[in-house]
Amino acid sequence: MRELKDTLARLGVIPVVRIDREEDAVPLAAALKAGGLPCAEITFRTAAAEGAIRRIAAEVTDVLVGAGTVLKQEQAERAVAAGARFIVSPGFDPFVVEWCLQTGVPILPGVATPTEILLGLNKGLDVLKFYPAELLGGQRMLKAFSEVYPGVSFVPTGGVSETNLAEYLKLPNVLACAGSWLVKSEMIAKHEFAEISRLAKQAREIVRQVRGG
């Protein structure tokens, strides 16, 4: 988890990707890498997700690929077998969390309440997905969390875009932000990989301006 934490802190942004065709996985990963964001959270919402993870893990090895929208332990097992290096869930499922902890797979479970944050802390987790961020109060809520849970870092997801990314990244308890604005499904379908690279570069520039480096 330490390696993942360091990588996400450096990148500042996790592109959330819904992919419908396995054959688009490798050029997509290459586009993100070219834009300075060698990372992708492939959502487990489509039949192509598992195969897409497998292709990226095998063919673009320097891109950090994970599985998102993991709702069940069985999905986590399939994702990791395909090559996912981290798991993201929209909520705090104890079975998914426990399996990941037992197998040593980094897990970012979703939290929305103080109770769920405490569940994470009691499992030894200090990085949690805050979802859906904007609907739950966004930056104001995260500022409130920082006073009560000083040792916890969050990955806000849901409503984060290039327009508010900088403000989120300025918060000391935000490790990175995740969002789908970088990689729209229609952009993949139209093979607009140059545009994906451009948006990735734009996001990385925002990170650089806020955090330096």
d(CA 34, CA 189): 19
Could you tell me if residue 128 is inside a domain?
Answer: yes
Q: How far apart are CA 159 and CA 172, in angstroms?
A: 19
d(CA 209, CA 213) in angstroms, rounded, equals: 8
What is the amino acid identity at position 130? F
Is residue 100 in a domain? Answer: yes
Q: 213 lies in a domain?
A: no
| Cα–Cα distance measured from residue 19 to residue 126, given in angstroms and rounded to the nearest whole number | 29
Is 177 contained in some domain?
yes
pLDDT digits (tens, 9 = 90+) for 33-75: 999 999 999 999 999 999 999 999 999 999 999 999 999 999 9
Residue 176 lies in a domain: yes
Report DSSP letters for 59-101, one per residue: H-TTSEEEEES--SHHHHHHHHHHT-S-EEESS--HHHHHHHH
Structural domain including 111 reads: 2-208
Give pLDDT < 70 ranges for the chain: 213
The answer to whether the beta carbons of residues 65 and 42 sit under 8 Å apart is: yes
Residue 158 lies in a domain: yes
Instruction: Tell me how many domains the chain contains.
Output: 1
- Write the burial class of residue 209 (CB in 10 Å: 0-12 exposed, 13-18 middle, 19+ buried): exposed
CATH number at residue 8: 3.20.20.70
Query: Does residue 182 belong to any structural domain of this protein?
Result: yes
Please tell me the predicted confidence (pLDDT) of residue 213. 63
Calpha distance 171→137 (Å, rounded) = 14
> Catalytic amino acids?
41, 129
Note the pLDDT of residue 1: 87
For residue 190, tell me if it sits in a domain. Answer: yes
Tokens at 104, concatenated: 């040593």
